[in-house]
Structure 1
Amino acid sequence: MAGSKHPELSGLLVVNKPKEMTSFGVVARLRRVTGQKKIGHAGTLDPNVEGVLVVALGKATKLIDLLQSRPKTYTGTVAFGFATETQDADGAVVAEQALTTGLDETEIKKAMASLTGDIIQIPPIYSAVKVNGKRLYEYVRAGEEVELPKRPATIYRFEATSPLRWLPNQPYQAFDFVAQVSKGTYIRTLAYDLGQKLGLPATMTALKRTAGSGYSLDQATDLDDLLEMNFDSLCQRIQPIESVLTWPKKDLTEAEAFAVRNGQKITIDQWPATETGYYQLYDQGQLVAVYAFDADQDLWRSRYFFA
Structure 2
Amino acid sequence: MAKQASTLTGLLVVNKPKGMTSFGVVARLRRVSGQKKIGHAGTLDPNVDGVLVVALGKATKLIDLLQTRPKTYQGTVTFGYATESQDADGEVVEKKPLDEGLDEAELQSAFQSLEGDIIQIPPIYSAVKVNGRRLYEYARAGQEVELPRREATIYEFKPTSALRWEEGQPYQSIDFEARVSKGTYIRTLAYDLGKSLGLPATMTSLTRTAGSGFSLDQAVDLDKLMEMSEEEVEKQLLPIADVLDYERKDLTDEEYFAVSHGQKISKWPKNESGYYQLYYDQKLIAVYFYSDEDELWRSRYQF
What TM-score, normalized by structure 2, do the two folds share?
Answer: 0.98
Residues in 1 aligned to 2:6 and 2:90: alpha-carbon distance in whole angstroms: 43
**Match of residue 26 from structure 1:** 25
Query: After alignment, is 138-147 or 212-221 more displaced?
Result: 138-147
Following TM superposition, where does structure 1 have runs of at least 4 consecutive aligned residues deviating by more than 6 angstroms? none
Residues in 2 aligned to 1:144 and 1:126: alpha-carbon distance in whole angstroms: 12
Superposed displacement of residue 6, structure 1: 5.2
Q: Deviations over 1:210-254 (max 9, x none)?
A: 000000000000000000012222111100000000000000000
Letter in 2 for 1:304: Y
Are residues 1:159 and 2:158 paired?
A: yes
**Match of residue 82 from structure 1:** 81
Superposed displacement of residue 4, structure 1: 5.3
Residues in 2 aligned to 1:24 and 1:76: alpha-carbon distance in whole angstroms: 22
**Match of residue 15 from structure 1:** 14
- The SS at the match of 1:266 is coil
Are residues 1:279 and 2:295 paired?
A: no
Superposed displacement of residue 5, structure 1: 4.0
Q: Tell me how many residue pairs correspond in the alignment.
A: 302
Residues in 1 aligned to 2:180 and 2:203: alpha-carbon distance in whole angstroms: 16
Q: Deviations over 1:136-169 (max 9, x none)?
A: 0111112111000000000000000000000000
What TM-score, normalized by structure 1, do the two folds share?
Answer: 0.97
- The SS at the match of 2:188 is helix
RMSD: 0.9
**Match of residue 178 from structure 1:** 177
- The SS at the match of 2:170 is coil
**Match of residue 289 from structure 1:** 286
Superposed displacement of residue 7, structure 1: 3.2
- The SS at the match of 1:120 is strand
Q: Deviations over 1:248-280 (max 9, x none)?
A: 00000000000000000001xx10011101000
* Structure 2 unaligned spans of 5+: none
Query: Does structure 2 conserve the Cα–Cα contact (< 8 Å) formed by 1:6 and 1:34?
Result: no
Residues in 1 aligned to 2:4 and 2:29: alpha-carbon distance in whole angstroms: 14
**Match of residue 130 from structure 2:** 131
Query: Does structure 1 conserve the Cα–Cα contact (< 8 Å) formed by 2:6 and 2:36?
Result: no
**Match of residue 71 from structure 1:** 70
Residues in 1 aligned to 2:132 and 2:239: alpha-carbon distance in whole angstroms: 35
Superposed displacement of residue 296, structure 1: 0.8
- The SS at the match of 1:128 is coil
**Match of residue 244 from structure 1:** 243
Superposed displacement of residue 55, structure 1: 0.3
**Equivalent pairs: percent with the same residue?**
70
**Match of residue 37 from structure 2:** 38
Letter in 1 for 2:298: R
Are residues 1:226 and 2:225 paired?
A: yes
Query: Does structure 2 conserve the Cα–Cα contact (< 8 Å) formed by 1:4 and 1:35?
Result: no
Letter in 2 for 1:299: L
Query: Does structure 1 conserve the Cα–Cα contact (< 8 Å) formed by 2:88 and 2:203?
Result: yes
Query: Does structure 1 conserve the Cα–Cα contact (< 8 Å) formed by 2:33 and 2:229?
Result: no
